[in-house]
Amino acid sequence: MGHSEREARPGNRERAIRESKAVACTGYLILFCGGLCIPMKTNPLTTGSRGSVVWLTAALLICYAFLLVAGCSAPVQEGVKTNDTVKVRYTASFQDGMIFDSNVNSTPLEFTVGSRQVISGIEEAVLGMTPGTTKIVTIPPEKGYGLYNKSLVFRVNQAEVNEFLQGQESKGTLLGFQYPGIGSGYRWINSDGSPGYMRFSNATDTMVTVDLNNPLAGQDMVFEITLVEIVHPGT
């Protein structure tokens, strides 16, 4: 799959409640049906094989009705599939545990699985998940922001860099970014819709080293993902 799952657990108490309810319903069913079947040996209505069959059938029907009333036969919820639109909350960190991004206290991230709106590691991670569940996965560079490319690091004239950044700023596409443990830089949107990045180092009065790699390129990332909702048409 391209990523390794480290843990999967309920994202809230709903699953635990459902599991406890299922166990309780099973216990009640065994006791209830056992109580119904015990009188078969002594009840005059069960004399003979035909009477036994009638009594057992009635007992099973009553048990099934009990399940329906108790809500034990609720349908199993389907997991996420390709082309589903989902909402997730996530916390992203490096392997040393340093968190660099999270939307836990903000609006959930919404995307359609398979549309490449997010990195492929996240798309693959949510497949099969049901609302309310949480999964922790390690996403390698190949399923994240790509491998680090040394050819995108070079020395340029400071004046050329300033001119380029001013041009992006005039278009209204220039944004600053900062990642813990990585540093700061600039981000912009190219004419084809793809993002561009630039970080700086070893600056002098006239020259500077620029790095055009995505700041997360080459990083193994750990994502804790909670599926909030599978968005159905019309909802």
pLDDT score of 78 more than 70 = yes
Domain total in the chain: 2
Q: Assess if residue 119 is contained within a domain.
A: no
Q: Assess if residue 2 is contained within a domain.
A: no
pLDDT score of 12 more than 50 = no
Q: Assess if residue 193 is contained within a domain.
A: yes
Average pLDDT, the chain: 82
**Residue 112 or 17, more confident:** 112
Domain with 61, as residue range(s), is 14-70
Q: Assess if residue 108 is contained within a domain.
A: no
The pLDDT value recorded for residue 157 is 97
Write out the two tokens for 97: 């545990």
- Terminal Cα distance for the chain, rounded: 31
**Residue 36 or 86, more confident:** 86
Q: Assess if residue 84 is contained within a domain.
A: no
Helix H or strand E segment including 31: helix 14-37
Q: Assess if residue 174 is contained within a domain.
A: yes
Using an 8 Å Cβ cutoff, are 198 and 211 in contact?
yes
Helix H or strand E segment including 230: strand 221-231
pTM assigned to the model: 0.69
Q: Assess if residue 90 is contained within a domain.
A: no
Alpha helix positions (H), 100-225: 120-126, 158-170
Q: Assess if residue 158 is contained within a domain.
A: yes
Per mean pLDDT, which range of 113-117, 132-136, 207-211, 229-233 is the poorest?
229-233
The pLDDT value recorded for residue 128 is 97
Q: How many CB atoms lie within 10 A of CB 171?
A: 10
**Residue 87 or 235, more confident:** 87
The pLDDT value recorded for residue 172 is 93
